[in-house]
Amino acid sequence: MAESKAKEAEFLPEDVGTDDCLTSYTYIYSPDLLDQVAFITGGGSGIGLRIAEIFMHGCDTIISSRNLDKLKEAAKKLSAVSGRRCLPLCVDVRQPDSIAAAVDEALAQFGRIDILINAAGNFLCPASALSFNGFKTVLEIDTLGTFNTSKLLYEKWFKDHGGNIVNISATLQYRGQALQVHAGSAKAANAMTKHLAVEWGPNGVRVNAVAPGPISGTEGYRKLGPIGEAAGVFQSIPLQRAGNKTEMAHCVLFLASRASSYTTGAILVADGGAWLTSANDVSTMLGIVSSKSAKL
Ligand code: COA
């Protein structure tokens, strides 16, 4: 047991808990696996930033969100570690006009876009305390935002040139995770991954998703991870630990690259088996959340 744990640790990719770049990186795929251009929504922090970093080993990127200052800072860091181009663009995925302008700008600057990564926004909140606007906001960002961005990129480039879409999904909707009615409802629209895979496959567009579990170094984990750890939450996960951002980026890289060339309409669950076994009763979850703050 101790030996197998040590072996697992040896192969665990490195990560840092902040929104900084990695201090070192060992390729697990060929360094030139991607020789393309990727448009990443939410690439300024968390998992999105790590995806941009791992992609820039062979790939130029466009990172986009509502916070241009944060994006500019991230783009500077990403270009410095990779030597690749990283273009920060202000986008609100709820506003099709803002996406269209960013896609036009990206095409003008790079001449192509091969990959789209659709990120998401979330927080923990019991349904009884969630406002109507809170529910609507997460659906607008996660569900409508994914559709808006995918459709605009399809119309402007993928339809005629092919492309590759990877959506960042979740496992919340599989069993009705406590405190996540808004995000689970939004992610149930994951059916979109399959619908678009079916409709756009003939145009050379693959559409897949990664469904992460608890991931260290993210905003949610910074708020809840240490409390979850103290409460023994990770012991209930088959792999008995949280995942890290580099591990998620590797899953996304696999789906976005030719390594998965015959895969479309797939949801790759990357949660250490968490959704199969972890706590899902409201009182336990509320206990963890309320020991930190009423609003997370
Ligand atoms: N708990 C309960 N409700 C919340 C909330 C929380 N933590 N955060 C936002 N809301 C509600 C707000 O109260 C508001 O509803 P109201 O007008 O009835 O009060 C509504 O959601 C919109 O809030 P606002 O702050 O204007 O939303 P936004 O569009 O700026 O941002 C998120 C929405 C989801 C992106 C934001 O909550 C966020 O930054 N989350 C953490 C970052 C993140 O998502 N990381 C990725 C994790 S997968």
- Mean pLDDT for the chain? 92
Ligand 1 atom nearest to CA at 121: 44
Tokens 């990877």 map to which residue?
A: 166
Q: For residue 208, what is the DSSP state? A: E
Long-range contacts of 279-282 (CB under 8 A, 24+ apart): 279/233, 279/236, 280/175, 280/176, 280/177, 280/178, 281/178, 282/126, 282/178, 282/179
Residue 153: pLDDT band (50, 70, 90) is: very high
* Best probe residue, ligand 1, of 123, 285, 295 (max atoms within 8 Å of C-beta): 123
Tokens 């500077």 map to which residue?
A: 76
Which tens digit of pLDDT belongs to each residue from 38-50?
999 999 999 999 9
H or E element in which residue 270 lies: strand 267-270
Q: What is the pLDDT of residue 282?
A: 82
Ligand 1 centroid to Cα of residue 147, in Å, is 20
Residues framing ligand 1 (Cβ under 6 A): 46, 120-123, 125, 131, 133-134, 137-138, 141, 219-220, 295-296
Task: Report residue 201: phi and psi, to 5°.
Answer: -55, -45
Q: Which domains does the chain have, with CATH numbers?
A: 28-295 (3.40.50.720)
